Amino acid sequence: MAYKIAVLPGDGVGREVIAEAVKVLKALKLKGSQEFIFTECLVGGAAIDEVGVPLPPETLETCLNSDAILFGAVGGPKWSNVAYHLRPEKALLDIRQTLGLYANLRPVKVYPALVDASPLKREIVEGVDILVVRELTGGIYFGNPRGIEKVDEEERGLNTLVYTASEIRRIVKLAFEIARNRRKILTSVDKANVLETMQLWRRIVTEVARDYPDVTVEHLYVDNCAMQLIRSPKQFDVIVTENMFGDILSDEAAMLTGSIGMLPSASIGGKVGFYEPIHGSAPDIAGKNKANPLAAIASAALMLRYSLNLESEATRIERAILTALEKGYRTPDIAQEGTRILGTQEMGDVIAENLA
């Protein structure tokens, strides 16, 4: 069996970390005649420079005809002044919407070897294991009307936060199913005290909860959740929230682990799953062999689990990451006293070697 993987490195460190994820996947010994077929495609700023648009039709066609997508990062100062519809980030939004990827899963796990790499105290972060379930194709990122217009000789920016009951229900049901198979604790995050959209969100969560009596449900306002993630993160198991809140909260939660370079993600719900590190293109360190590839490699493991049903292979990669950290290997962002600092490529080599 051949698994077709669309590889979209993108911009900045995206190219470096995805190269290491592909290296690790190639190091896996699949069973029998199973193999990976990788097809690299242009996306983001690299695509703008090459063909003038952030998401070429050929790239989207390859994604639609693949079993999974492995994505790096897009964007950078070079493209900061282009029109909105040509921004590198627009490619990411269009892929999510076209493929129907309504659910973004962002695991936030503090590895025992990295407890002291976190900026928070050991007793606060030790044992943290959270899954953020973020709605991905609705909310203010996609709502209309939107834009910048002139009203009475003054410019006005406009964005619309909108959700239908069915959009809320499908992401909430998925979060309940996931929570049922974890510690059975679900935290729904909203801003129902001031936003009508979030009042509907809370009502739908309450309705769906009746079908999951074994799951404990808590409602938190987003500002309180942001505080609680720092004050007492171990209280959380599964967090479900809307698009923008999930974007912000998961980046905040990343720092519990010691670095945003540690967080993978899986975007699912459509025919083809989409897997990416959440750290962005980091242009300040691009090309310097300093980027942490562990989030990209862990995203490849999520790809094996959710899209290809290769659970044992996914577990092998995750164990290889754990082994590297236990042996004291670090990239600069998670370096500690007495550890051995490696570059991007060298860390990828270590993970590949640990698979053996």
Q: Where are the alpha helices (DSSP H) in 70-152?
A: 88-99, 122-125
For residue 130, the surrounding DSSP H or E stretch is strand 129-135
Catalytic annotation present for 212: no
Catalytic annotation present for 150: no
Specify whether the CB–CB gap between 68 and 303 falls below 8 A: yes
Could you tell me which of 165, 239, 227, 237 has the C-alpha nearest to residue 198? 165
Catalytic residue among 3, 141, 212, 275: 141
Q: Where are the alpha helices (DSSP H) in 210-242?
A: 222-231
Catalytic residue among 94, 129, 221, 251: 251
Instruction: State how far the Cα of 87 lies from the Cα of 93, in Å rounded to an integer.
Output: 10
Catalytic residue among 26, 49, 121, 223: 223
Catalytic annotation present for 284: no
Catalytic annotation present for 84: no
Catalytic annotation present for 247: yes
Can you spell out the DSSP letters for 256-282?
GGT-GGG-EEEEESSSSEEEEESS---
Catalytic residue among 11, 191, 237, 329: 191
CA 110 to chain CA centroid, Å, is 16
Catalytic residue among 102, 247, 290, 329: 247
Specify whether the CB–CB gap between 68 and 308 falls below 8 A: yes
The residues near 213 (Cβ < 8 Å, ≥ 6 apart) are: none
Which residues are annotated as catalytic?
141, 191, 223, 247, 251
